[in-house]
Amino acid sequence: MKKRSTAFLYVMLAIPIGLMIIPTVIVLAVALVPTGVAFIMERGKGYYGGLTVGAMNLAGASPYLADLWTQGHTVQVALGVITNVFAWLVFYGAAMFGWAIYSTTPAAVSAFMTMTAGHRITGMRAQQRELVQKWGPDVESVYEPEGAKAAAQAAAAQMNAEPTAPGAKRAA
């Protein structure tokens, strides 16, 4: 019984609130279409694309929402906003910028991490040379993982076992 009365209370509160914000809902329904598409396309991948596009899309819609709220917050003002071609340009241009951020960020982060790892390797090799100078060549060793050794041995064995075509000379 308590569950039914709670649902009734929510409905009774949601109806007047929904009626009060209809102009905002109209503008957001038009402006946030790219955000909906981004969330639909990103099913099960963490929704990072939807969040990025949504944030930029909402940023593009915010000046027009502010105009709506300051000019009376009526359905006529909302229809004026959504019939403005420049408003559509800003809504969807901001969403496009969000897609650009979403698609270029992984490449930029990867390049940064590669550069950082390269600098760390260079620093460690310099540190290794200092240790060799200080402690002698006995502390120097080259670490090669077992998988890399096996792959190198398999490649060498395959090169030696390749059959030659009739009449072809084998490279020595």
Is pLDDT larger for residue 166 or for residue 20?
A: 20
pLDDT per residue as tens digits for the range 131-144: 888 888 777 776 66
Mean pLDDT of 35-39: 91
User: Residue 78: is its pLDDT beyond 90?
Assistant: yes
Which pLDDT score is estimated for 172?
A: 44
Q: Which two tokens stand for residue 39?
A: 């969330």
Mean pLDDT of 157-167: 63
User: Residue 170: is its pLDDT beyond 80?
Assistant: no
Please say whether the beta carbons of 84 and 119 come within 8 A: no
Q: Which two tokens stand for residue 129?
A: 């040379």
User: Residue 96: is its pLDDT beyond 90?
Assistant: yes
Is pLDDT larger for residue 2 or for residue 118?
A: 118
166 falls in which pLDDT band (50, 70, 90)? low
Is pLDDT larger for residue 41 or for residue 156?
A: 41
**CB-count exposure of residue 93 (10 Å: 0-12, 13-18, 19+):** middle
- What is the average pLDDT score of the chain? 84
User: Residue 48: is its pLDDT beyond 80?
Assistant: yes
pTM exceeds 0.85 for this model = no
Return the CA Rg of the chain.
32
Would you list the domain boundaries of the chain? 2-110
